[in-house]
Structure formats: structure tokens, C-alpha cells
Amino acid sequence: MIENPRPIGKARLSGLIWAAQWFRKSLFKIGLSGNISGAMADPSFTYVSGPDDFLANRAATKLWKAMCSEVEDEFSIEVIDGNAVKVEDVETLGNRFREATQTLGLFGGRRVVWLKGCTFMADNKTGRADGTQMACQNLQEILEMIRSEDVGVLISASPVDRRKRFPKWLEKHGEHIASGGVDSKGNGSEALAAILEEERSSMGVEIGSHVSETLISKVNGNSRLLIEEVRKLATYLGPEGGEITLELIEDLVPNFGDGDFFETTEAFFSRNLEWTLQALRRHFFAGNDARPVIASLQNRNRLLIQLKSLVDGGEIEVGGRGIAKPGFELAAAKYQDCYAGLSDKSNYNVFTQNLWYMGKLLGARKMPSLKRLIDHQAEFIRVFEEIVERPGEQEEALRNLAIRCLA
């Protein structure tokens, strides 16, 4: 008498499917699978990479939306964060990727998986670790098993050390899309020129080619900052448009140096958590310290606290062209005693600042409440104390700060 077979659980079923796929792959590797002539004749995954993580993410996001549009079951869509601070993170995301690509959709049909923003292929401590190389080998074996008719896979990474074995393999065996951007040798500026042209056209302003080069140089080849600065300059010119001149750039665009901390400040006060975390990643990837970032955040926040107090108290008015000058001057005269000894330009005295720039800070985006701004200042003090106590955990401390303030 044959006993009833034991029910197959989800985990066991997934393992059986994986074994079947491995067996099938082994067969056609040695030419025993009928009309299949060779392994991975068609790319079974798409790989997006480039030196600029903003451009890489933008290109990958467009592809991902197209991939998701072909999937009816939302449970068959999965995004895995590829950010890895240590080797254990690479191993963990590898296990998640294996599970995601092997698991059957709840209602059958094709699944799509995005391994997003991989940082472990860069030339850094984690990327160079032996454990990371082993984890990458495991990822390669998973990808070799994938059938594109069963699961669609997208991998995005930036920055990437293209000398490494795994990135080379991804480029060779996947559908590789180079997202563009300026690399460490200064190559790739044409991608930024195209972004600038697209943005200035949408904003209805003009800019000469030599002026474009100056602006790209000012933002140190950072695509996201380039977009922000073009929008800022267009706002200054007003709804009637006009021309972005060299003089305007020199007056209004800071000089964003290599590994500068200004990007994090812009991202933070844009209330954009994803951009802030990416900016922090770039800052610390370049081996920079946390203290300039904290100081920059505190300086901007001091100005915003003063401005928000004046707005809430009805002392100044903000319109389409920024802060009304008469009201600003009246407030400056009214509170001059409060700023005794602070006549030099300083973030401790809002009335020493450029009026147009103050209007931009107030009007660019929805302002947090005064209480929230004061809470931010307390958080900046707290994180400074944390990095003094634990100097080896600076990036983690600032990432947690961003999440507490912006999530």
C-alpha cells in the first residue's frame, strides 16, 4: 500500500523548482536539451550602470516602470535595496535576491525583481572584501539559472569598478545600459550637457555653451545639483524667462567642490529623504568627515528659524518674487538691538543675508513648522555628540538623523 505523499510546503517547492532549473541549465550547457543550442543565448536580465548614481537610478526607474506595467499581480513585483555597508549586507541581499527570483507568483505568471542601487561593486572596502567576491559569485550563479519568461530581473549599480570580475560578467551576459555621467577622470560630460539642455528648455530660459560648461564645472559634475541650480536660476529670472549669464552663475551658484557637503544640505532642506541618503553616501564614499555636513545643516537651519519666526509673526511677506523689501527693512530696523554686534554677514543674523536668496529659501518648497525647525537644531546637536562618542559610525549616525527628520 502506497502512503499519501506529504504535502509540499512553499520553501520545499521553491527548492524543487530551483533544482529543476539547475538541471535544465546543466543539460543545455553540454548540448542535451533539444533545440536549445547554448546557455543564455538571450540576456535574461538588464544591467544599468554608470559613474553618476542619479543618472543610473533615473534610467533604471524608467525601465522598471515599463517592466512593472506588464505584471498584473502586484505581489509579483519586488525591489531589493542594493546598498551594502559591510560584507554581511551583501550576503543578506544575495539571499533575498535568490528567494525573490525563485518564489512563484501568488497567482502564477511572471515576476519582476529589481536589485536597486548596488554599492558593493565599487572600489571601496566592502567592494574589495573577499566575502563580497564570494557573494558576487553566488549572485552570478543565481543569474545563470534565471529564465526570462519566468522572472524579469533589473540590476542597477553606481559607482562601479569595471575592472572587477562580476561587473565585467554583468556587462557581457546581460542587456547592459550605460547611464552616463562624469567619471573620476572627467569623462562623460556630454551626458550632463544633455541634461542641462533638457532642463533649461523645460524652464524656458537660454544659456550659451561656454556658460553651460562653467555651470557644469561649478556643480562638480553632479547631475542632481545641476538640475537644482538650473531651476534656481530660472526662478530668479522670473516667468518671462531670459538668459542665464556667466555673471548670474558667479553671483548665485556656490562652488561645489570635490566631495563637498553642500549637496547634503540642499537635499535635506528639499525634504527629500532618498536624495539626502544618496548625498551622504557620496560624501562618505569620498572619505569625508561628518562635521562639515552638520555645520552646514545648522547654518541653514538657523536662517530658516529666523525667517519662519518673521513670517509667522507677520513681520515679512513672501510673494511670487520673494520677500517684499520694505517689510524686510522695517523688520531689520525693529530688531536691530537683538542683533547687536552681528553686523557682519552671518547665519546668526538673517538681515545680513541676500534678500533674494532668503526669499528662495522660504518659497522654494513647503516650509516645516517653527517647532519642527527647532527640533531639527536639537537633532543636529544630538548627532554631533554621537559622532564624538563613536567616530567610526559617522555615516550611520547621519543616515539615522536624516530618517528621523525626514521620514
Which DSSP category does 2 fall into?
A: P
Residue 138 lies in a domain: yes
Q: What is the pLDDT of residue 16?
A: 44
| 300 and 345 belong to one structural domain | yes
- Chain centroid, CA 34 distance in Å: 46
Q: How many Cα atoms within 13 Å fall on the side-chain side of residue 407?
A: 7
**6-20, 150-164, 211-225: range with lowest mean pLDDT:** 6-20
| 170 and 205 belong to one structural domain | no
Residue 370 lies in a domain: yes
Average pLDDT over residues 339-351: 79
More confident residue, 341 or 204: 204
Residue 2 lies in a domain: no
Reported as a single tens digit per residue, the pLDDT across 85-135 is 889 999 999 999 999 998 876 666 789 999 999 989 988 888 899 999 999
More confident residue, 11 or 297: 297
| 298 and 254 belong to one structural domain | no
| pLDDT score of 346 more than 70 | yes
User: In the listed set 178, 207, 231, which residue is the last one of a domain according to the structure?
Assistant: 178
| 320 and 243 belong to one structural domain | no
Q: What is the pLDDT of residue 34?
A: 34
| 149 and 193 belong to one structural domain | no
Residue 90 contacts residue 130 (beta carbons within 8 Å): no
| 120 and 243 belong to one structural domain | no
Q: What is the pLDDT of residue 260?
A: 57
Q: What is the pLDDT of residue 324?
A: 86
Q: How far is CA 268 from CA 55, 167, 224, 264, 265, in A?
A: 19, 32, 13, 6, 5
Structural domain total, the chain = 3
Residues of the chain with pLDDT > 70: what percent? 83
Q: What global pTM score does this model have?
A: 0.58
Q: What is the pLDDT of residue 139?
A: 96
| 308 and 341 belong to one structural domain | yes
| 129 and 162 belong to one structural domain | yes
Q: What is the pLDDT of residue 377?
A: 93
| 245 and 364 belong to one structural domain | no
Strands 318-319 vs 322-323: parallel, antiparallel or unpaired: antiparallel
User: In the listed set 114, 145, 178, which residue is the last one of a domain according to the structure?
Assistant: 178
| Structural domain of 393 | 291-406
Q: The domain spanning residue 231 has which CATH number? A: 1.10.8.60
